[in-house]
Amino acid sequence: MKPVIVSGIQPSGELHIGNYLGMLRQAVELQNSGHYTCIYSIVDYHAMTGLLPAKERAAQTLDLAIDMLAAGIDPKKSILFVQSHVPEHTNLAWILGTITSMGDLQRMTAYKEKVAEGKTPNVGLFTYPVLMAADILLYKAEAVPVGDDQRQHIELAREIVRKFNSAFGKTFKEPRTITAKAERIMSLDNPEKKMSKSIPSGCLFLHDSADEMRKKVMSATTDSFSGIGYDPEKRPGISNLVLIYSEFTGLTPQEVVKKYADIGYADFKRELAEVIINALAPLQKERRALLKKKSEILRALQAGAKKAQKIATQTMEEVRAKVGLV
């Protein structure tokens, strides 16, 4: 088997350009490179850390599959499946939880931020990084493409590998983090915070209409400096917009600043909106076509789960023997 790449996305709302530029686009590039076995999942157990009516949760799972396919994840090239269809994820998570320290979990910033934002601090939210470690280790992943917010969770997965290997003998390898240049796209209305599905007011969603995109970009928070600039520390708002422009055009942020040296924020935003609209148009077109193929997509997800489970079962057999489960 080629080196394994693993990643997942929560079906916790519509995908935004942060998810796309920070992770999904990279996942597609890795898949298309042909160098890896790519295993991508819709991590529905992770999304359960937030309460949602059953119908809505089911709809979000299928909707995310459609978005992933529309963005270029190809079930013929990658293993695409729904996390809860492969019970080995939670089986391994339990075992890994028994060697994870409370202190390590208490240090996780994503958990602290979610609680500070008002999310209920349930046990699932607290132990989320352990399940994420299981998602990765079950497939003995070499690397994990993620946004910057997940970097600490991968570090924890590496720590869990060290603990497991030292307690039970070499079993897992430490996964690497692969981050994109756009590892942290900030919220449009609060550029001090990352763009997050759970705070929709600052999100530019992949399937916003052209008019919605124009409206959101035009009202994005900038600053009172004059001229386009790129300095994420001092000027987070405009720098975020420059980064988004750069990511969708292939120019460097410095080239973007140079190109727009003589124009005001409003004109720059107008051009940025058109760049985003044009860049996402093929994805939106593909999404419309996929919406008519829901049963085909469900079948592809089931086939993906079978392939994933084949690998997962082997790992679990090895783990059970190592830890002494009969």
Confirm whether 197 is a catalytic residue.
yes
Cβ neighbours of residue 100 closer than 8 Å, sequence gap 6 or more: 127, 129, 130, 133, 156, 160, 163
Residue 25 sits in the site that holds ligand AQP (CB under 6 A): no
Site for ligand AQP (CB under 6 A): which residue of 91, 100, 150, 309? 150
Nearest C-alpha neighbor of 21 from the set 29, 32, 33, 13:
29
CA–CA dist 160, 92 (Å, integer): 12
Angle between helices 294-323 and 54-71 (to 10 degrees): 100
Nearest C-alpha neighbor of 101 from the set 171, 154, 159, 140:
159
Stretch that binds ligand AQP, among 79-87, 142-150, 253-261, 287-295 (CB under 6 A): 142-150
Cβ neighbours of residue 238 closer than 8 Å, sequence gap 6 or more: 222, 223, 225, 228, 229, 230, 265
Residue 146 sits in the site that holds ligand AQP (CB under 6 A): yes
Among residue numbers 4 through 23, which ones bind ligand AQP (CB under 6 A)? 9-10, 12-13, 18-19, 22-23
Given 55, 181, 197, 234, the catalytic residue: 197
Compute the least distance from the CB of residue 54 to ligand AQP, in Å.
18
Confirm whether 194 is a catalytic residue.
yes
Among residue numbers 76 through 135, which ones bind ligand AQP (CB under 6 A)? none
Q: Choose between 88 and 183: whose C-beta lies nearer to ligand AQP.
A: 183
Cβ neighbours of residue 183 closer than 8 Å, sequence gap 6 or more: 22, 147, 148
Among residue numbers 179 through 218, which ones bind ligand AQP (CB under 6 A)? 182-185, 194-198
For ligand AQP, the binding residues (CB under 6 A) are 9-10, 12-13, 18-19, 22-23, 146-147, 149-150, 182-185, 194-198
Catalytic residue positions, numbered: 114, 194, 197
